[in-house]
Structure 1
Amino acid sequence: MFSLLLGLVLFLGIHSISIITPLYREKFVKKSETVYKAVYSLLSFLGIYLIVTGFGALRTDTSVIYVGYQSLRPLVYLFMLVGFILFFAPYFPGKIKAVTKNPQLLSVIFWAFSHLLVNGNLADILLFGSFLVWATVDLISMRKRHQRVVSPLKTSWVNDVIVIVLGTIVYGTFAMFLHGYLIGIPLMS
């Protein structure tokens, strides 16, 4: 459990600098953007590694906090499709990006919430619950912060088509093949 918790603290902590101290982040970036990005990336990757190994180890513990509703799987699949589409929206600005404002944070919320609907073990609650709380807090804090430009592309309806097609293809690939291979839980049998 320690590995999972440390990974969550590292990953979500480094991703929370803009929430907690946006001026401190800007100060670091102005001083040396390369060093800031290197430290950010290093702590993010270390956090991901610890989250993956910690989650895998804790998942063998069958501490059930609540029983997930397996009958909600079709809703989960729909939420995840929306989440994958939203994930790519910042990189291809269009109406989807304009309406949602912060599509990647919404993507994380869809991902975490949908997984909590069907999973109630301690490991699931720690992982998905932490990301759900973080993304919600970050989404709220975005109302007060200056938005950074993610993509140099011009806003276009064509980008919405790209986002929908790309998100659907990646989602389909992940659901049919990669979830079972990477996570160990096949979705389509």
Structure 2
Amino acid sequence: MAILILGLVLFLGMHSTRIFAPGVRANAVRSMGLIPWKGVYTLVSLVGFVLIIWGYGEARYNPTWVWVSPGWTRHLSALLLIPAFVLLVAAYIPGTHMKAKLSHPMALATKIWAFAHLLSNGTLADILLFGGFLVWSILYYAIARRRDRAEGVTYQAVSVQRDVIAAIIGLVLYGAFAAVLHEWLIGVRPFG
């Protein structure tokens, strides 16, 4: 479990610097330069991500159950992940109405993903992993929106077609992940 916790601290910690500790990020960029900072950021994030995968995988061999979710929560989780995939894609397509309205659709996608997985998974490792991402994404979203308002940052919508493209790509990715990739990458069949 310590490996999972260390991975979460590294990964979420690095992804929190601009929001929770902008001075640390600014000082690092000033002292080492933007490109080296991005290199450190990427390296620490990757190490954290690998530790999360390793720690969560190890915890699954000897799970500590906190609760056992009813079977129907699996279906609810699968349903909730549809908008999560669409929002995730919308974060990368500039000019969507979703990004213009929500500002940070990836943070919302992360919230939905984490909440959906907490509904249908009840081990201590699940609570640490998905609960950690849920708390982080709630805080990140609130602080990022506040920062955007303070700095006058807005996101402009270009056309509805971009939202349609985000929705189609999100649905295709959701289908691929639900049908094949989740089992291949995670070892769990969402519908089986």
TM over 0.5: same fold?
Answer: yes
Aligned partners of 1:67 and 1:41: how far apart in 2? 36
- Cα deviation, 1:122-178, whole Å, max 9, x if unaligned, reads 111110000001001111111332489xxxx97221110110011011110011001
Percent identity over paired residues? 41
Contact 1:69/1:117 (<8 A) preserved: no
- Cα deviation, 1:99-137, whole Å, max 9, x if unaligned, reads 222100000000000000010011111100000010011
Aligned partners of 2:53 and 2:120: how far apart in 1? 19
Aligned partners of 2:191 and 2:67: how far apart in 1? 24
Which residue of structure 2 lines up, in the alignment, with residue 122 of structure 1?
124
Which residue of structure 1 lines up, in the alignment, with residue 168 of structure 2?
165
CA shift in 2, pair 1:104/1:163, >3 Å:
same
1:188 aligns with 2:191: yes
SS in 2 for 1:91: coil
More displaced 10-residue stretch of structure 1: 42-51 or 75-84: 75-84
Aligned partners of 2:167 and 2:30: how far apart in 1? 36
- Cα deviation, 1:13-40, whole Å, max 9, x if unaligned, reads 1011122211332343355110111001
Aligned partners of 1:140 and 1:65: how far apart in 2? 29
Which residue of structure 2 lines up, in the alignment, with residue 22 of structure 1?
22
AA of the residue aligned to 1:175 = A
Output the TM-score relative to the length of structure 1: 0.91
Q: Which of 102, 111, 118 does residue 100 from structure 1 map onto?
A: 102
Which residue of structure 2 lines up, in the alignment, with residue 86 of structure 1?
87
Which residue of structure 1 lines up, in the alignment, with residue 43 of structure 2?
42
1:137 aligns with 2:139: yes
AA of the residue aligned to 2:158 = T
* Structure 2 segments unaligned to the other structure (5+ residues): none
Output the TM-score relative to the length of structure 2: 0.90
AA of the residue aligned to 2:87 = L
* Structure 1 segments unaligned to the other structure (5+ residues): none
- RMSD over aligned Cα atoms: 2.0
Contact 1:65/1:121 (<8 A) preserved: yes
Aligned partners of 2:164 and 2:19: how far apart in 1? 32
